[in-house]
Structure 1
Amino acid sequence: MKTGADMKIAGKTVCVFVLLAITKVTRTVGNNRVSVTVGKSSVLACPPKSNMTMVTWKISPKAGGPCTLGYRADQNKTDRTNCSDSMNWKSRPDWDPALEIRQVGIAFEGNYTCEVVATEGNFHKMYHLTVLVPPRLTVYCDNHGNPVCKAAAGKPPARVSWVLESNSTPEEEGHDNGTVTVLRKFTAYSTNMTNTTCIVSHPAGTWSKSIACHLSGNNAIFKYAFIILCFLSVITFTAVIYYFKLHRDRLCHRTKPPEIAPTHSPQDDTMEVEPYTTYVQKENVIYNSVSDLTVGQNLPQGLSPAT
């Protein structure tokens, strides 16, 4: 029993010793977040240790593949793999192993780790680099006479507000490069406005700009009258087209009246026969008269034609 207990104690002691050794050999010196404005330079420190034998920067950006910068003291040699020219040692790595990033771009955003190997152990220091993109501020008046404040292509999205109270809601539009445009309108409570100021807040800075938008009553009346006139014109034009189309369809579908066959009545036959009958009768009367006269002339004297 005693031997078993001693073995358990010895096992625990060995485990503790191993953990302490690992802790001594590998140490992580912080995990920091760094923000830098696009286009500027940034320096990431890596504390130098006495009797350094090797220093390595391991970079994992969000865009593109990973890259490494290395230094070996025993060969007094540096090397780089897949790193852009904008990333390099700030000075001699045996004096100061800090990393310098010149003209930071959005693609440089990501994780940066410095690993130092020395006689007293291994050390790591990690950074998370965030790139800030200041928005472009513009203020203008829309077609309704309302002020509009626009913070274009900012990263992260900017906060847009008006000095005067406004119940409008900001609108956001994302872009492929990770920037965001924020637009916010100010709704005027009357047609006559005083100056109003837009304030844009961003981690890269704060900006403000004032504007005065004015839409007079006469212009508003003219605008509404023009809209009503256009609406009435459209209705009238549509009605005229519909009327002509309907009238044309009626003309096209109108049928030709049927031809009526002439009727033949007995009266027409009578009217056609009566002139001939009258003519024959007159001819007979004339013939009879002539016959009578001829007969009378041929009779002997003393005889006269019978009446």
Structure 2
Amino acid sequence: MKAGINMKIIAKTVCLFVLLTVTIVMRSAGNNRVSVTMGDNTVLTCPLKPNITMVIWKIDPKVGGHCRLGYRTDKNETNTTNCSDNMNWNSRPDVNTSLEIRHVGIAQEGNYTCEVVSTEGNFHKMYHLSVLVPPRPRLYCDAQGTPVCEAATGLPAAHISWVLGDNSLPEEEGYDNGTVTVLSRFTACSTNMTATTCMVFHPTGKWSESIACCPSKEVSFKLYVYIIPFLLSIMIFMAFIYYFKFHSNRLCHKTKPPETDPIQNDTMEVEPYTTYVQKENVIYNSVSDLTVGQNLPQELWPET
């Protein structure tokens, strides 16, 4: 029972795989992919059939509106709707129905369909136009002495690799026009390396360049020779500033006059006056007693 069920499942899977394969083949046959480098010219052909009565090119770009180019043989007239100036018939449409695109730009990327009406029936052919933008490669050393390889504004995104191999993940930055900048840092530097080579791969071509960024033993020794004295100088300078500041504070504390209590000062200022008054009173009392004793009778003298 289980074996029968498994056989049915396998049969359905095979049928599904065959149908998908046929669909993909049919779609590939009806949709031709064309890649053009930006700035180049390209020509898209249309089916050649006898007794043609009408030809229509339908362009659906990724950017902008739809474009239509039409030709009627009975009136021998052409019609163009919303098409750019660099897009037109390759020659006279009654002789050649191909479409020519001059100086292809990113805006021309999209789907192109040619429809032919003749006495034998209707025929069509479809293209998918891809625009290739060569990246601008650059190899340089960053502030830390790490080799950096960059492929700027490419379409599609470029692939970067290092000759000596590196596991660092590339960084990608996309732009509104579809181009991509790829940046890769070589992190496997060692003091034994003298140079490293970056390779950029793109459908428009290959590029490679070498650079010497990785620090060598001699460079490391020179860094130590210059950096260590510099750090020691800073430490000595800071110690001198601290020492000078500490001793300046001590000198200021020694020369500062002692603070006095204002109440005590007032007391010291008042005490001489009080002593003087007391002495004056004693003298006055003595003189008074002497005068009274001379003028009064004996029985009225004060007791001593």
Alignment-derived partner of residue 10 in structure 2: none
AA matched with 2:193: M
AA matched with 1:118: S
Kindly tell me the number of residue pairs found equivalent between the two proteins.
Answer: 245
Tell which deviates more after alignment, 224-233 or 99-108: 224-233
Alpha carbons 1:29, 1:126 under 8 Å: kept: no
1:282 CA drift (Å): 5.1
- Pairing partner for 2:278 from 268, 273, 276: 273
1:42 CA drift (Å): 1.0
Q: Mapping of 1:105-116 within 5 angstroms?
A: 105-116=105-116
Alpha carbons 1:146, 1:188 under 8 Å: kept: no
Alpha carbons 2:47, 2:124 under 8 Å: kept: no
Label 1:187 to 1:226 Cα distance change in 2 as closer, same or farther (>3 A).
farther
Q: Secondary structure at the match of 1:145?
A: coil
Alpha carbons 1:113, 1:124 under 8 Å: kept: yes
- Pairing partner for 2:220 from 217, 221, 230: 217
1:188 CA drift (Å): 4.1
Identity %: 56
Label 1:87 to 1:138 Cα distance change in 2 as closer, same or farther (>3 A).
same
Q: Deviations over 1:159-205 (max 9, x none)?
A: 00000121211111111211010000112432353221111011111
Alignment-derived partner of residue 74 in structure 2: 74
Q: Mapping of 1:116-135 within 5 angstroms?
A: 116-135=116-135
Q: Mapping of 1:111-260 within 5 angstroms?
A: 111-215=111-215, 216-221=219-224, 260=263
Mapped to 1, the partners of 2:262 and 2:85 lie a distance apart of 101
Q: Secondary structure at the match of 1:107?
A: helix
Q: Deviations over 1:58-81 (max 9, x none)?
A: 001111111111111111111211
Label 1:270 to 1:258 Cα distance change in 2 as closer, same or farther (>3 A).
closer
Label 1:100 to 1:138 Cα distance change in 2 as closer, same or farther (>3 A).
same
Q: Deviations over 1:28-84 (max 9, x none)?
A: 972111111111111111121011111110001111111111111111111211111
AA matched with 2:223: A
1:132 CA drift (Å): 0.6
Alignment-derived partner of residue 93 in structure 2: 93
Alpha carbons 2:189, 2:214 under 8 Å: kept: no
Q: Deviations over 1:122-168 (max 9, x none)?
A: 00100111111110000001111111100000011100000012121
AA matched with 1:170: P
Label 1:220 to 1:169 Cα distance change in 2 as closer, same or farther (>3 A).
farther
Q: Secondary structure at the match of 1:281?
A: helix
Q: Which runs of 5+ in 2 are unaligned?
A: 1-27, 247-258, 268-272, 296-304
Q: Secondary structure at the match of 1:34?
A: strand
Mapped to 1, the partners of 2:142 and 2:115 lie a distance apart of 56
Label 1:271 to 1:63 Cα distance change in 2 as closer, same or farther (>3 A).
same
Label 1:230 to 1:128 Cα distance change in 2 as closer, same or farther (>3 A).
farther
Mapped to 1, the partners of 2:188 and 2:119 lie a distance apart of 71
AA matched with 2:224: I
Superposition TM-score, scaled by structure 2 size: 0.69
Q: Which runs of 5+ in 1 are unaligned?
A: 1-27, 244-255, 292-307
Label 1:269 to 1:119 Cα distance change in 2 as closer, same or farther (>3 A).
closer
Mapped to 1, the partners of 2:229 and 2:172 lie a distance apart of 33
Alpha carbons 1:134, 1:155 under 8 Å: kept: yes
AA matched with 2:281: Y
Mapped to 2, the partners of 1:183 and 1:226 lie a distance apart of 37
Q: Secondary structure at the match of 2:30?
A: strand
Mapped to 1, the partners of 2:293 and 2:29 lie a distance apart of 164
Alignment-derived partner of residue 104 in structure 1: 104
Label 1:96 to 1:102 Cα distance change in 2 as closer, same or farther (>3 A).
same
Mapped to 2, the partners of 1:181 and 1:163 lie a distance apart of 21
AA matched with 2:164: L
Label 1:257 to 1:151 Cα distance change in 2 as closer, same or farther (>3 A).
farther
Alignment-derived partner of residue 35 in structure 2: 35
